[in-house]
Amino acid sequence: MRILGNVGVLLAAALVSLTACAKTVLPPDYVATAPIARTPELSPPAAPEEPDASRNAAAARMATAYLGVPYVWAGSSPTGFDCSGLVTYVFARVGVSIPHNAAQQYQYGTPVPRDHLQAGDLVFFNRLRHNGIYLGDGRFVHATSPGGVKISRLDDDWFRTHWVGARRL
C-alpha cells in the first residue's frame, strides 16, 4: 500500500509539472543544457538527409493548418495552443523536440538576423514571452489571446517594437 501512495504522489507531481505555467520567465543568463532531440516516431516519412530548411518550411506550412484553433494557456494540442505550445507541437511532428517554453526555445538552434529569415524560423517577442513560426514575406503564425492561432506581420507596430530575435532550428 505504501508503494501505491508514493506512486500517487509522483503522479500528482507529474501532473502539476505538466499543467504548470508554460510562460516562466527565465533569467537572461539561462542556458539550455538539452540538445535538440529528433523523435523518429513523430517524423514524417522523409529521407533522413532532408535539409533542415525543407523540414522547417514543412513545419511552417503545417502550423497554418491550425489557423483558428483557440488559445489555451499551456495548450499544446490541436484542441488549443499557447504560443510556445504551437511551436513545440508542430516541430515535434517534423521530428524536432523542443521544450514548451518560449524563453527555453530561444536557446535552441542558431541566431538569424531579421533580414535573413526563412520559412520555419522561430521569431521571438516581448522579452521572450511570445513567439511564433515565420512563414515568409514578413508574416508569421502564432497563438495569441484573443484570437487563437493566426497569422500576423512582423512590421505590425506591436511586433516591430517588441522584437527580440529569431532562431533557426
The enclosing domain of 99 has a CATH number of: 3.90.1720.10
From 100, 116, 142, 162, active-site residue: 142
* pLDDT on residue 51: 63
> What's residue 79's pLDDT?
97
Give the Cα separation of 95 and 75 in Å (integer). Answer: 19
Task: Please check whether residue 153 lies inside any domain of the structure.
Answer: yes
What does the pLDDT read at residue 52?
84
Task: Based on the residue annotation, tell me whether 142 is a catalytic residue of this protein.
Answer: yes
pLDDT tens-digit readout, 61-78: 999 999 999 999 999 999
The catalytically annotated residue of 21, 83, 100, 162 is 83
pLDDT at residue 102, as a whole number = 98
CA distance 69 to 80: 6
Sort residue 16 into left (φ over 0), alpha (ψ -120 to 50) or beta: alpha
Angle ∠(97,152,94) on CA atoms, nearest 5: 20
Contact, 148 vs 75, CB < 8 A? no
pLDDT of residue 131: 98
Asked if residue 39 is part of any domain, the answer here is no
10-residue mean pLDDT profile of the chain (169 residues): values are 42 36 41 40 41 91 98 97 98 97 98 98 98 98 96 98 98
Residue 100 belongs to a domain: yes
- Determine, yes or no, domain membership for 74: yes
Identify the domain containing residue 160 by its residue range. 58-169
Q: Is 162 a catalytic residue?
A: no
pLDDT of residue 7: 40
pTM exceeds 0.75 for this model: no
Q: Give a yes or no: residue 2 inside a domain.
A: no
Domain-located, residue 159? yes
Q: Which of 21, 100, 116, 130 is catalytic?
A: 130
Residue 76 vs residues 30, 62, 72, 102: alpha-carbon distances, Å: 23, 14, 8, 13
Domain count for the chain, please give it. 1
Structural contact between residues 135 and 118, judged by C-beta atoms closer than 8 angstroms: no
Is residue 95 included in any domain, yes or no? yes
Asked if residue 83 is part of any domain, the answer here is yes
